[in-house]
Structure 1
Amino acid sequence: MAETTHKAAVGTSAGAAPPAVPAPAPAPRPARLWRGITPWLFLLAPLTLLTVFTYAPIANMVAYSFTDWDGLSPELHYTGTENYTELLTRPDLFEVFWVSGYYLAASVVQIVAALYFATVLSFNVRFRNFFKGVLFFPYLINGVAIGFVFLYFFQDGGTLDSVLGLLGVESDRAWLGTPESANTSLAAVSVWRYLGLNFVLFLGAIQSIPGELYEAAELDGASRWHQFRYIIAPGIRPVLSLTVILSVSGSLAVFEIPYIMTGGATGTETFVIQTVKLAFQFNKTGLASAAAVVLLLIVLAVTWVQRRLVPDDKVDLT
């Protein structure tokens, strides 16, 4: 009888619902407040630096664009939209944008070459680490040093003429003597320098694609071209869009290489070089600020158009 009673008690205990676990007490209000503030404390330093060194100078530049400040005088006068009117009514201030066409064409060559090398070196190729270093090394060199190196490279009787002479090609042309040859030479230097950056971006994007996709494609008999067309190209679309934006904006804001090598002479003056001359050579800081604002708006407009034409769709290769 006792055994039966014990079994019944055990059965009743087994069939009963487990006791409810009491809900944890809510955290005190100071703890919850501190938890919400903590992420902003980590963002305080970078946001402060971004505001002080980026947004505040941009705001000052916009303010100066409505004045006649010469960059030296403590006094400045508000002139309204006079600087912008002068920019829009003087065609010579916008003619320099034609020079950007050389760098825009060079950026196309640069993207195609970087994508080709990144695709080839993403597969098992002998000495691929060596070639990766060779391609990326020019991007690590200081731009001023590159300007001086290629200044001697393109000068009359310089390195290029010496190499052509060894190959039996006689060249008596001045590579930096005419606008066409000078801009073509400078654009070629920019391709050599910035090829490594696009190469690394493409290579990282390609290597992030799962290897199982390549294995499945090889089992199906896909060639390297088909792997590039159906796996690599869709997989790196966001990075490709980014490089196009950087290349277009960079071609509009070229400064370093032409400024060091020619100083803007021989028809190689870019919009940024012209803006610098307006500010520091002709002491027209207000007009230069307006030119800088116009360049910023053009870059933003080009970026917006590019994003509208090629939106960033979510990539799904699985």
Structure 2
Amino acid sequence: MAGRVSGPPRRRLRHSPWLYVAPALILLITFTYVPVGNMLFYSFHKWDGLDVTMDPAGLDNYVRVFTDERYWRVFLISLYYFIASFAQIAIALYFAVILSFNTRFRNLFKGILFFPYLLNGVAVGFVFLYLFQPDGTLDTVLRLIGLGEHTRLWLGDPDIANLSLAGTSVWRFTGLNFVLFLGAIQSIPGEIYEAAEIDGANRWHQFRHIIAPGIRRIISLSFILAISGSLAVFEIPFIMTGGANGTRTFVVQAYETAFQFRQIGLASAMAVVLLLIVLVMTWVQRRLLPDEEVNLS
């Protein structure tokens, strides 16, 4: 009687999960971890991106990032976008709560709110560039409604240029938070709302005791995205002002350092510092607002 041959099939079953995830792992390692490793290597060298050889620089690039005012002062510009991100989260949460209930034309409003996020960042920058330019769309509208005296150099005045850019960022990214909130709210079982209405709970009570606890993890995720996004702003200020008039962000500064001044090592050190800051702030946020299992049933 022939014996059973069980080795090869079991071996194939044992290794088959890795065959499914191998393409994703290859892409992740090739386009994420390898570039990060190269960036970390470059940050300890002095290199213009063209020479075949690199000169070791030790920690000089990092010392320069933290001691040269030109490189750390631009972090203050991120505060405009960080504050704007809270307004963005509040607006998205407000409309997500309203449109999660039966509201007339709610599908239309959902599309209107999410549409800006579908647009390319460069296209958004050019649209708002024409909106804010002198005698542009915004100035024309203000004159039509009798507020012509309030026209300003929206992108030329250093006092309000960052406010204009932060407002543009709110318009573009509110749709992302809106979709995240809406999906989380709609995942809450409808029976809970029905039981709350029977007990006499109004919309505010439902939001406070059902919706807010139920989407806590998504709110926490939104804060993480707000922190990382405000520190890594690039497209809008680069397209609309090129970093002029006090609108240069840390990423714009790193871009100019790398591709205009040909200091690849220093720019890599700036990128590593930014990555570490995002990781530390994310860790702090997770410690202050840890995930907790929420059971509303």
TMscore range, shorter length: over 0.9
Tell me the number of residue pairs that the alignment of Structure 1 and Structure 2 aligns: 294
Work out whether 1:49 is the aligned partner of 2:39: no
- Any stretches of 5+ residues in structure 1 without a counterpart? 1-24
Question: Any residues of structure 2 matched to 1:207-246 within 5 Å, and which?
Answer: 207-246=186-225
- Which one of the candidate residues 269, 273, 278 is aligned to 1:290? 269
Structure 1 position 165 matched with structure 2 position 180: no
The equivalent residue for 1:271 is 250
How is 1:93-172 mapped onto 2 (pairs within 5 angstroms)? 93-170=71-148, 171-172=150-151
| Poorly superposed stretches of 4+, deviation over 4 Å | none
Give the corresponding residue for 2:37: 59
Question: In 2, Cα distance between the equivalents of 1:256 and 1:172?
Answer: 25
Gapped regions of structure 2 (runs ≥ 5): none
Q: Which moved more, 1:253-262 or 1:73-82?
A: 73-82
Question: For the Cα contact (< 8 Å) 2:87–2:170, is it kept in 1?
Answer: yes
- Counterparts of 2:106 and 2:244, CA distance in 1: 40
User: Counterpart of 1:89?
Assistant: 67
Deviation at 1:180, TM superposition (A): 2.4
Report if aligned partners of 2:46, 2:266 keep a CA contact under 8 Å in 1: yes
Question: Alignment partner for residue 13 of structure 2, among 28, 35, 42?
Answer: 35
Task: Give me the whole-angstrom Cα distance separating, in 1, the residues matched to 2:57 and 2:211.
Answer: 54
TM-superposition CA deviations, 1:69-97 (whole Å, max 9, x none): 11111111111111111112212211001
So what's the TM-score if we normalise by structure 2? 0.97
| Paired letter, 1:47 | L
Matched, 1:255 2:234: yes
**Structure 1 CA distance for aligned equivalents of residues 30 and 124 of structure 2:** 31
Measured in 1, the distance between the counterparts of 2:236 and 2:172 equals 10
- SS of residue in 2 equivalent to 1:263: coil
Aligned AA (1:298):
I
Q: Which residue of 2 aligns with 1:313?
A: 292
RMSD: 1.2
* Counterpart secondary structure, 1:287: helix
Distance 2:78 2:127 in 1: 22
Paired with 2:139 and 2:211, the residues of 1 have a C-alpha distance of 40
Q: Which range is displaced more, 141-150 or 267-276? A: 141-150
For 1:230, the aligned partner's letter is H
Choose 25-34 or 137-146, whichever is displaced more.
Answer: 25-34
Q: Distance in 1 between matches of 2:142 and 2:170?
A: 21
Report the Cα distance in structure 2 between the residues aligned to 1:69 and 1:282, rounded to whole angstroms.
11
Q: Note the C-alpha offset of 1:27.
A: 8.1
- Aligned residue for 1:195? 174
Cα separation, 2, equivalents of 1:269 and 1:222: 49
Check whether the contact 2:142–2:151 (CA below 8 A) recurs between aligned residues: no
| Aligned-partner Cα distance in 2 for 1:220–1:252 | 45
Amino acid paired to 1:83: N
Q: Does structure 1 conserve the Cα–Cα contact (< 8 Å) formed by 2:254 and 2:271?
A: yes
**3-state secondary structure, aligned to 1:180:** coil
**CA–CA distance in structure 2, aligned partners of residues 189 and 227 of structure 1:** 32
Task: Provide the rounded CA distance (Å) in 2 between the counterparts of 1:291 and 1:180.
Answer: 26
